[in-house]
Amino acid sequence: MPRGFPLPGAGQFVQLLLQAPSPVLLPRPMSVAQVRRAARGPVLGFLFAPVGDGTRALAALAEGDRVLVLGPLGGGFPLEVAGVPVLIAGGRGVAPLLFAAETLERQGRRCEFLFGARDAAHLVGLAEARRGLDRMGGRLHLATDDGSRGVRGTVRELLDRIAPHLPAQLVIHACGPHAMLAAIARWALRHRVPAFLAMESVMACGTGVCRGCPLPRSEPERRRLARQRDRLPSLYGSPQFAMCCTDGPVFAAATLDWERLG
Q: Which residues bind ligand FAD (CB under 6 A)?
A: 13, 24, 28-31, 47-49, 51-55, 92, 95, 200-203, 249
Q: Least separation, in Å, of the C-beta of 249 and ligand FAD?
A: 4
CA distance 209 to 246: 9
**C-beta closer to ligand FAD: residue 49 or 254:** 49
| Pairing assessment for the beta strands 151-152 and 139-144 based on DSSP bridges | parallel
Binders of ligand FES in range 220-249 (CB under 6 A)? 243-245
Q: Which partner in ligand FES, ligand FAD, none is near 113 (CB below 5 to 8 A by kind)?
A: none
| Binds ligand FES by CB under 6 A, chosen from 191, 211, 222, 224 | 211
How near is the Cβ of 203 to ligand FES at its closest, in Å? 4
3-state secondary structure of 73: strand
Residue 62 near which of ligand FES, ligand FAD, none (CB within 5-8 Å, type-dependent):
none
- Output phi, psi for 238, to 5 deg: -115, 180
Q: State which residue has the least CB distance to ligand FAD.
A: 52
Identify which of 208, 240, 243, 211 has the alpha carbon closest to the alpha carbon of residue 226: 240
By the 10 Å C-beta count (0-12 exposed, 13-18 middle, 19+ buried), 234 is classed as exposed
Alpha carbons within 13 A on the beta-carbon side of 103: 24
Which of ligand FES, ligand FAD, none does residue 238 bind (CB under 5 to 8 Å by kind)?
none
Contacts of 229 (CB under 8 A, 6+ apart): 239
Contact between 116 and ligand FES by CB under 6 A: the answer reads: no
Contacted by 204, from ligand FAD, ligand FES, none: CB < 5 to 8 Å by type: ligand FES
Residue 202 Cβ, how far from ligand FES at the closest point, in Å? 8
* Nearest distance from C-beta of residue 251 to ligand FAD, angstroms: 12
d(CA 80, CA 164) in angstroms, rounded, equals 23
The entry of ligand FAD, ligand FES, none near residue 28 (CB within 5 to 8 angstroms by kind) is: ligand FAD
**What's the Cα-to-Cα distance from 11 to each of 65, 72, 75, 78, 259, rounded to whole Å?**
25, 10, 7, 9, 24
Residues 6+ away with beta carbon under 8 Å from 85: 79, 100, 104, 109, 110, 111, 112, 170, 171, 173
- Give the interface segment with ligand FES, choosing from 44-52, 113-121, 131-139, 203-211 (CB under 6 A): 203-211
Chain residues binding ligand FES by CB under 6 A are: 203-206, 208-213, 243-245
